[in-house]
Amino acid sequence: MVRCAPPTRYTFASVLAATLAAGTARGDAAGPRAAAAQAAVLRAADSAAAGSIAGEASRARFGHADLYVPTFFHPVDGTYDVVVHFHGTSSLQEDNFERAHVNAAVVSVNLGVASDAYANAFRAPGTFDELLAQTHRALAATGRLGGARLGRVALSAWSAGFASVGAILGQPGVFDRIDAVLLADGPHANYVAPHRVNDAAIEKWTRVAEDAMRGEKLFALTHSSIPTVGYPSTTETVGELLKLTSVEKVPTDATGPRGMRAIYASHQGDFHVEGYEGTTAKDHIDHIKAMAETLLPYLRDRWRR
């Protein structure tokens, strides 16, 4: 499997059929469609589910966002935590969070299969704050908050969703408020010359990694070995990130969840990277389905400290 795309746009067209089979929503990327997607994401959650009691899972939908409140969710010391995940059917994150037992509400945002739509939806300042406000209203409507206020926030993404995370981190005043970033088979960047990754395109990820190495944030990533044409693969992009942060790859041949074969692991402070074999659509999808074992345990343990 080879992903092909122009250098500035990551469409993942070659895995479309497989991702649709996994439940990912269809969508186009740029222009008016992206603007419409942004408006939909920020639409009021007037139809949020109400009347649920603690101990039961709660769900609500607003625009392109699906809220899931796990069975074990409960505010702590008057605050609650939330994870905003980009790309991938919401049922996958419901399953991941139940298995990993992360005490947080999770919002799954789906805007299609192209990274442009994810980036464009959150370029404008204030769009992420509005999403958090809509999430709070939907969560309050479930009756599970008990007056709690928002506490910690994590950003999570699979595949093309990394572009929303990158855009949000660039919004004024947002970077310092994000406690954790989780990327499953991401991110990508662009080239400044043949097979030369544009370091400026990954500066935001370098900054997150440096904070994580100091323990100020959590930054955990996994990537496959799927090759790309016209833009850097996740292997290349993450490799450049490790180079810029002077973090070494430690070879391993361990077998992970879903039969995923690990190539290396890198750990420094709260910065964690795991590289895997695999060049097929199934291998790509395994990265979101395995988040309960690969990425979410880091978040669960950090938020339990």
Q: What percent of the chain has pLDDT over 70?
A: 82
pLDDT of 22-69, one tens digit each?
333 323 333 444 444 444 433 333 333 333 334 789 999 999 999 999
The pLDDT of residue 2 is 64
Strands 149-158 and 79-86 come out as parallel
Give dist(CA 206, CA 74) in Å, integer. 33
The pLDDT of residue 56 is 85
Give the confidence band of 14 by pLDDT, cuts at 50, 70, 90. very low
In degrees rounded to 5, what are phi and psi of residue 297?
-60, -35
The pLDDT of residue 80 is 98
In degrees rounded to 5, what are phi and psi of residue 74?
-160, 135
Task: Tally Cβ neighbours within 10 Å of residue 130.
Answer: 15
Write out the two tokens for 5: 């795309």
CA R_g for the chain: 18
Contact indicator for 233, 186 with CB cutoff of 8 Å: no
Mean pLDDT over 227-248 rounds to: 97
Give dist(CA 205, CA 211) in Å, integer. 10
Task: Tally Cβ neighbours within 10 Å of residue 244.
Answer: 16
Give the confidence band of 250 by pLDDT, cuts at 50, 70, 90. very high
Task: Tally Cβ neighbours within 10 Å of residue 239.
Answer: 18
Mean pLDDT over 205-224 rounds to: 98
> Would you say residue 89 has pLDDT above 90?
yes
Q: Which of 72, 47, 198 is nearest to 134 (CA)?
A: 47
The pLDDT of residue 8 is 42
DSSP reduced 3-state for 37: helix
Helix pair 203-213, 162-169: axis angle to 10 deg: 80
In degrees rounded to 5, what are phi and psi of residue 227?
-75, 155
> Would you say residue 98 has pLDDT above 70?
yes
Give dist(CA 285, CA 14) in Å, integer. 13
The pLDDT of residue 120 is 97
CATH number at residue 210: 3.40.50
Q: Count the domains in the chain.
A: 1
Mean pLDDT, the chain, rounded, equals 87
Lowest-pLDDT range of 36-50, 68-82, 165-179, 203-217: 36-50
Q: Which of 226, 241, 214 is nearest to 276 (CA)?
A: 226
Write out the two tokens for 300: 């669960």
Give the confidence band of 3 by pLDDT, cuts at 50, 70, 90. low
Contact indicator for 159, 281 with CB cutoff of 8 Å: no
Mean pLDDT over 1-25 rounds to: 43
Q: Which domain holds residue 179?
A: 3-304
The pLDDT of residue 9 is 52
